[in-house]
């Protein structure tokens, strides 16, 4: 019997990440090219030649005490898979300590978030932005950026527009799995979709988020430009807002699958 060997790497205690080139199917590298702190992993991903997919796997928790450059910027023209591996990325901004650019991750290129651990309990957390114009707490998908969520958690973040995820103009967010939970915002506590932004939900859960408008999802507009939300699967449940507990629809909403249940809306304007 011939048995395939899994890729292995020897790393020192306290190292934050390992990295290499992903397989064609998005799998972990057969050979890791480096290991060390997250800053080195980010430099590797943002410096990789176009056409290659960087794979970063966390080896330890990331926080404001062991990482100083925030937000984590994934640059335009670069494709990266970020594997939480059961670890947390915690920016550590509380309600009393916010920042103008207080989000945890900024996506200018193509980023896929996953958690390969058996628990899949790794999380993006601790973001808090205090500006009033397009401010996000968790993951900010910039203009023309692409963000895919396969697994993991985006939780405990706060922003004015998009507690968990903000999708900018011509940005694209595809949610296939994972959880966006317990985030706060004025609009779109789970996800805020800006005009010409696109949200496609195929799986996962958007639950337990709280906003003034759009507890789960806020679909924005600036006439004649509208945000687009195509819901094919997954669950939007137990979110709370004054208007649109589950989905606040000011744009273009298509539902062909999934469920929107048990959300609470005080005014029941533009969605329940």
Share of the chain above pLDDT 70, in %: 91
pLDDT at 13: 56
pLDDT at 92: 94
Q: What is the pTM of this model?
A: 0.92
Q: Which residue has the tokens 């062909």?
A: 256
Query: Which of 170, 152, 160, 150 minimizes the C-alpha distance to 127?
Result: 160
Local structure of 155: helix, strand or coil: strand
Local structure of 61: helix, strand or coil: coil
pLDDT tens by residue, 17-56: 999 999 999 999 999 999 999 999 999 999 999 899 999 9
pLDDT at 139: 98
CA distances from 149 to 97, 127, 132, 242, 266 (A): 28, 18, 26, 28, 30
Query: Which of 232, 248, 128, 120 minimizes the C-alpha distance to 179?
Result: 120
- Region at 51 (left for phi over 0; alpha for psi -120 to 50; beta for the rest): left
Contacts 24+ apart (CB under 8 A), 131-134: 131/100, 131/160, 132/160, 133/160, 133/161, 134/160, 134/161, 134/166, 134/168, 134/194
Q: Which residue has the tokens 């023309």?
A: 144
- 31: exposed, middle or buried (C-beta count within 10 Å: 0-12, 13-18, 19+)? exposed
pLDDT tens by residue, 108-161: 999 999 999 999 999 999 999 887 667 899 999 999 999 999 999 999 999 999
């Amino acid at each position: 019997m011939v048995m395939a060997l899994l890729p292995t790497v020897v790393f020192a205690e306290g190292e934050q990440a390992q990295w290499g080139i992903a397989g064609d199917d998005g799998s972990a590298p057969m050979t890791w090219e480096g290991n060390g702190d997250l800053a080195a992993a980010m430099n590797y991903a943002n410096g990789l030649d176009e056409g290659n997919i960087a794979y970063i796997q966390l080896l330890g928790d990331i926080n404001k005490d062991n990482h100083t450059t925030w937000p984590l910027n994934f640059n335009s023209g670069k494709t990266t898979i970020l594997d939480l591996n059961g670890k947390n990325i915690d920016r550590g901004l509380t309600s009393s300590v916010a920042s103008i650019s207080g989000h945890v991750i900024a996506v200018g290129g193509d980023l896929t978030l996953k958690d390969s651990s058996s628990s899949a309990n790794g999380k993006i957390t601790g973001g808090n932005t205090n500006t009033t114009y397009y401010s996000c707490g968790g993951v900010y998908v910039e203009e023309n950026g692409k963000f895919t969520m396969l697994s993991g958690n985006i939780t405990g973040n706060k922003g004015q527009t998009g507690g968990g995820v903000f999708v900018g103009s011509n940005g694209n967010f595809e949610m296939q799995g994972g959880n966006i939970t317990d985030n706060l915002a004025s609009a779109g506590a789970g996800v805020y979709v800006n005009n010409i932004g696109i949200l496609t939900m195929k799986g996962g859960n958007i639950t337990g988020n709280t906003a003034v408008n759009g507890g789960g999802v806020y679909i924005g507009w600036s006439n004649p430009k509208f945000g687009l939300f195509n819901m094919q699967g997954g669950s939007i449940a137990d979110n709370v807002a004054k208007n649109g507990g589950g989905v606040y629809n000011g744009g273009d909403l298509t539902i062909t699958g999934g469920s929107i249940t048990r959300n609470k809306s005080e005014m029941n304007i533009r969605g329940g």
